[in-house]
Structure 1
């Protein structure tokens, strides 16, 4: 049986508590078509790059499942007809072998170890005084980028407000 990955986007008109029943509905649709769900993740609410059906935000969800190829078209059509889902995409995903899973775990452990080392280095620099707790260097020639970041955030918010208005002229 082929292994698939479904990424779908639920509209923002639903609250966090209303998203869970929609996810269950999608999962039951897959199961009712002789599918087996391997993993189901709610990736949370995120801002969209552009408005889809008038919505600027949406809830991303990821489902990995096994499904007979003959039933894929039924599931795809049913997902397209659901009014709660803004966008969806199903792709064929190769199954990971045990060896690949072990390699992924090793890589994740190495990344976590590096992050811990970086945090320790930052703490040491803060304690020695080469970096202040706010993240700025104590050297006189250091640039202040915090103010620039705040200005960019304010600018983004103002641009969003302008783009959300109906009359741009």
Structure 2
């Protein structure tokens, strides 16, 4: 059974555009390997942090929305935790309304 998730992570501000793209691709591929589908990526850009994290005042925000089995989240978050380029991450399970679920079922039939 798959669930809808949203992950927001913050990359170090000193990464170049190419390094940011490599990081985004790396985590997208990791999710796909774990069985995730419908991955939507939004680069929110560099923003000021509310407080200093690991001696950084700014961060590059990336948002992922996807459907995945529950077993995909632990390896995904472990990879982020061990990464030097990610300074913070958060994954939440999205609420799926009945109307949206019915619409998705009608589309898949």
Normalised by the length of structure 1, the TM-score is 0.55
Partners of 2:39 and 2:95 in 1: CA distance: 13
Equivalences, count: 100
Higher helix proportion (structure 1 or 2): 1
Residue segments in structure 1 that go unaligned for 5+ positions in a row = 100-169
> CA offsets, 1:32-71, max 9 Å, x none?
1111143110000001111111111110000011111122
Of the two structures, which has the highest relative contact order with CA contacts closer than 8 Å and spacing of 6 or more? 2
Higher strand proportion (structure 1 or 2): 2
Residues 1:83 and 1:37: Cα distance change in structure 2 (over 3 Å): farther
TM-aligned CA deviation for residue 98 of structure 1: 8.2
CA contact (8 A) 1:79 1:88 kept: yes
2:70 aligns with 69
Normalised by the length of structure 2, the TM-score is 0.82
TM-aligned CA deviation for residue 94 of structure 1: 2.2
Residue segments in structure 2 that go unaligned for 5+ positions in a row = 103-109
Q: Which residues in structure 2 correspond to 1:155-166 (within 5 Å)?
A: none
Larger radius of gyration: 1
